[in-house]
A and B are shown apart, each in its own frame.
Chain A
């Protein structure tokens, strides 16, 4: 069964628009961790943010912010005032006990047009 679902396959926006990426996860654990990674056209995977299941406080880091809601098992990610360099595939991932491997969603391709 898919543990992480990213329903949006592709999103296209014009520069300076905000972009919100949806992520829904599935776990029976009470302790787990959620991540967002970015994969630009160059191919590497870049860590963006991590959240643990005990901390539902939503935060902002620069142009990135996230909305973690345990009640709906969602961990959404927003890029504010998007830039062309934000064009990439964004992956949501879940890490659980005991091995803490990353279970990735299918990814959302974000294209920011100038």
Chain B
């Protein structure tokens, strides 16, 4: 158990819908990362937050947004869902946004868009 929690574990929805994925980092970790794992794209970095502020953006679609709240939990919002958004979404946390700190991953949320 990494100490990072993600809810829900599974999500099945229809095209055009909007969903929210939730992540609670390990106790004491200030940095949160979101990654998407799909069969065709592999593991891709989406976005990073540090202590409530957005710090870096990767291959995140405009239909997707995220935020980190004062209690440090983070939410990833996916809207106008398409079939291609079906993937495993991981949240990871680290103490700082530093390579010296390993990122610990949550169990992931498997999103299926029908």
List chain A positions with a Cβ less than 8 A from chain B: 31-33, 35, 37, 43-47, 50, 52, 91, 95-107
Are A99 and B108 closer than 8 Å at their CB atoms? no
Assuming the A-B contacts A47-B103, A50-B102, are A102 and B45 also in contact, with contact meaning beta carbons closer than 8 angstroms in the complex?
yes
Among B65-99, those with CB < 8 Å from A are: 88, 90, 92, 97-99
Assuming the A-B contacts A45-B90, A91-B43, A104-B42, are A52 and B107 also in contact, with contact meaning beta carbons closer than 8 angstroms in the complex?
no
What is the minimal beta-carbon distance from A37 to any residue of chain B, in angstroms?
8
User: What's the A-B contact tally at a CB cutoff of 8 Å?
Assistant: 61
Are B2 and A103 closer than 8 Å at their CB atoms? no
How extensive is the interface on chain B, given as a class? Answer: 20 to 34
Are A43 and B98 closer than 8 Å at their CB atoms? no
Assuming the A-B contacts A33-B99, A33-B100, A50-B102, are A101 and B45 also in contact, with contact meaning beta carbons closer than 8 angstroms in the complex?
yes
Determine chain B's interface SS by DSSP, over half rule.
Answer: strand
- Is the C-beta of B24 less than 8 angstroms from some C-beta in chain A? no
Most chain A CB neighbours (cut-off 10 Å) among B97, B99, B107, B110: B99
Q: Which residues from chain B contact A100 at a C-beta distance below 8 Å?
A: 97-99
What is the minimal beta-carbon distance from B105 to any residue of chain A, in angstroms?
4
Report which of A37, A43, A96 forms a contact with B108, defined as CB distance below 8 A.
A43
Among B32-85, those with CB < 8 Å from A are: 33, 35, 42-45, 48, 55-56, 58
- 17 new A-B contacts, CB < 8 A, other than A47-B2, A102-B35, are A43-B88, A43-B107, A43-B110, A44-B106, A45-B90, A45-B105, A45-B108, A46-B2, A47-B102, A47-B104, A50-B99, A95-B99, A96-B99, A101-B45, A101-B58, A103-B45, A104-B43
